Amino acid sequence: MSVQSRLTRLLLYAALCLAALFMVFPILYAVSISLMPPAEVNTFPPRFLPSSPRWANYAEVARSVPVGRYLLNSLVVSSAVTLGQIATASLSAYAFAFMNFRGKAALFALFMSTMMVPWEVTLIPNYLTIRSLRLLDSYTGLVLPFLATAFGTFLLRQFFLQIPRELEEAARIDGCGRFRFFWSIALPLARPGLLTLGAYTFLSTWNQYLWPLLVTNTRLMRTVQIGVRFLMNEEGLQYHRVMAGVVLCMAPALVVLVLGQRYLVRGLMAGGLKG
């Protein structure tokens, strides 16, 4: 490798490191503020690191708002929506990929066209439906409108299309039924797509704000995003406690993002490039 190539690579890595530091700086600064004593938060010029980490900020947040209940609510709702979308999307994607029926292409195009409908347009009809079913302020009301998605169907269909049709024909000749082929062969082969859809769905559900705010009334049914807003009301300008609550609330989502980042990138690229 020539000296010029090494220098170019070195500059490229340096630029990537700076860009990565720029991207994660808000998170690192939030963690730093969450550990600062109150007197250091509003100093000028601002401090970027606490003189001595104050872990009591997290205990004070836990005493002022039911942050554990908020985390539990978001975990239950996000997990239920994720499992529901994987189940419904995998079944519909398998049907569009492997089964032949009249009007299949038109039905798939109609199905995909729903992706162009903004969620805000369906907000009021969904709310009226949930209210008429008397599911307000319940886990079912938070989960039910999000159990099916056209995006998940499209994504998993792209993975199912990569499975050779000869494999299904051979399995059928050996006596394998359609559902057994779906469960025992197609789903394991589409595992990267399932993990991609799971990570994407969990993160998007975890970050929901408007729908949980609309359908929940009692404090103990609020999700973590609403809880962060309540924390700001409770703590006012005590930013060290607010940031401690924010760090607690975003920690599970960051763990899922780190664990599922590789599958997210790989799955979205596969869904976008292969038709």
Q: Where are the domains of the chain?
A: 65-272
| pLDDT number for residue 192 | 83
**Each residue's pLDDT tens digit, 225-236:** 888 777 776 655
Among candidates 24, 68, 117, 83, which has minimal Cα distance to 220? 68
CA R_g for the chain? 24
As a dihedral over the C-alpha atoms of residue 112, residue 113, residue 114, residue 115, rounded to 10 degrees, the angle is 70
pLDDT the model gives residue 265: 66
For residue 216, CA distances in Å to 106, 120, 185, 243, 245 come to 38, 18, 41, 24, 21
**Per-residue model confidence (pLDDT) at position 233:** 63
Find the DSSP H helices in the chain.
3-34, 38-41, 56-64, 67-98, 104-113, 123-132, 139-143, 150-160, 165-173, 178-181, 187-189, 191-206, 210-215, 224-235, 239-273
Alpha carbon distance 168, 93 (integer Å): 15
**Gap between the Cα atoms of 29 and 18, Å rounded:** 16
Distance CA 55, CA 13 (A): 35
* Confidence at residue 169, expressed as pLDDT on a 0 to 100 scale: 84
Would you state the CATH architecture of domain 65-272?
Answer: Orthogonal Bundle (1.10)
pLDDT score, position 140:
93
| Whole-prediction pTM | 0.81
What is the residue-level pLDDT of the chain in tens, covering all 275 positions?
Answer: 677 888 888 999 999 999 988 988 888 888 898 888 888 877 777 788 888 888 888 888 888 788 888 889 999 999 999 999 999 999 999 999 988 888 888 999 998 888 888 888 888 899 999 999 999 999 999 999 999 889 999 989 988 988 888 888 888 888 888 888 888 888 988 888 888 888 889 989 998 888 998 998 888 888 888 887 777 766 556 778 888 888 888 888 888 777 777 666 666 665 555 54
What is the rounded CA–CA span in Å between residue 186 and residue 174? 16
Residue corresponding to tokens 């009692």 = 218
